[in-house]
Copies of this chain bind each other. A is one copy, B any other.
Amino acid sequence: MPPKLRDVAERAGVSVKTVSNVVNGYVHVKDATRDRVQRAIDELGYRPNLTARSLRSGRSGVLALAVPELDVPYFAELARLVVETAADRGYTVVIDQTGGGREQEMVVLKGIRSHFVDGVLFSPLALSAADLRARTDRAPLVLLGERAPRGPDDHVGIDNVRAARDATEHLVAIGCRRIAAIGAQTGGPGATARQRLSGYRASLTEAGLPYDPDLVVPARSFHRADGFAAMAALLALPDPPDGVFCFNDPLALGALRCLATRGIRVPQDVAVVGFDDAEDGRYSTPSLSTIAPDKPTIATTAVDFLLARIDGTAPTGPRRTTAPHTLVPRESTDR
């Protein structure tokens, strides 16, 4: 049996309350008492039982982070940053992989684990605004990624429409005239993809370029294999594109690979822009131009929003932050 508060109290000759005060850094303890208690703690190797503390105090010191997939670079980086930020604030993070499906995401929303965590950071892919509004679980929640219009929850994201315009405008600026988009998701929610698509269209309009539905290729998921397949479909067109905007970096890296296998030169024949600024794209050949969301800001803001909800120091209404993004031009559009 590991030692408990009571054992420490007996050894130090004080009450459990005093030990508890020492353990929790309560200030009004005489130095002599504190020393005596601390010595007993050290001698016994006492460590507080976090479960009991949590049951009694109603706080676990654990946050949940729910993301679609850990091995999509963007989510892996986000997870790292969230875990680091939370650790700075004295919190542990439980990671939940939803797979991006609605069913799994509803499980998160219903708070199956909410008795156990103090709050939830959630990056949903398939949920609708109605799903979010219908939530009954009362654990504090902060949404990442998609913009939930008029949703009831705190939210941290970027301006996807603006970012997609920036990416497309960049292709226009270097002389592309037939610009394709890879990653559209029309059926279902997929707010992110929809916003990026609408930014793409806005940019075409602005540039006086026609919108050609043939150049918009949907993707089931956002992996390299999907980007490869989409690029292959575009190349099979009678009039293939001279520029491609991919809705994330893995799609773009898959597209690059497809172009390489066909012997098509990037950026001379086809220019490519991705989205997310994954480390991969900095070392690919050619290196990948991309939209870089400010991930540290996203992670820090989200964690701090959540902790403020948990502490009750947050304002009543939902808080929303749009983190900045930047276009990072690299070789894949260098012409």
A residues near B (Cβ < 8 Å) are 2, 45, 47-52, 54-55, 60, 62, 69-71, 73, 76-77, 79-80, 83-84, 87, 92-97, 111-113, 115-116, 136, 138, 223-224, 228, 253-254, 256-257, 260, 279-280, 282-285, 287
Contacts and interface: CB of A to CB of B under 8 A. Distances in A.
B83 A50 contact: no
B83 A224 contact: no
A282 B40 CA distance: 57
6 contacts: A2-B138, A48-B115, A51-B51, A62-B94, A71-B76, A83-B96
B93 A95 contact: yes
B97 A94 contact: no
A114 B228 CA distance: 45
A279 B224 CA distance: 8
A223 B154 CA distance: 35
Contact of A83 (B95, B115, B285): B95
Contacts of A224: 279, 282-283
Copies of this protein chain in the complex: 2
A280 B250 CA distance: 9
Contact of A228 (B47, B51, B112, B283): B283
A312 to B, nearest CB: 17
Nearest to A253: B283
Q: Which 10 A-B pairs have the closest CB atoms?
A: A260-B285, A257-B283, A50-B116, A76-B76, A71-B76, A224-B283, A70-B80, A51-B55, A49-B115, A95-B95
B47 A112 contact: yes
A199 B113 CA distance: 46
Given A51-B55, A71-B76, 20 more contacts: A2-B115, A47-B115, A48-B115, A50-B116, A62-B94, A70-B70, A71-B73, A71-B77, A76-B76, A84-B97, A93-B95, A224-B279, A224-B283, A253-B280, A254-B283, A256-B283, A256-B285, A260-B285, A280-B280, A284-B285
A111 B50 CA distance: 12
Contacts of A87: 97
A27 B282 CA distance: 58
Contacts of A285: 256-257, 260, 284-285
Contacts of A52: 55
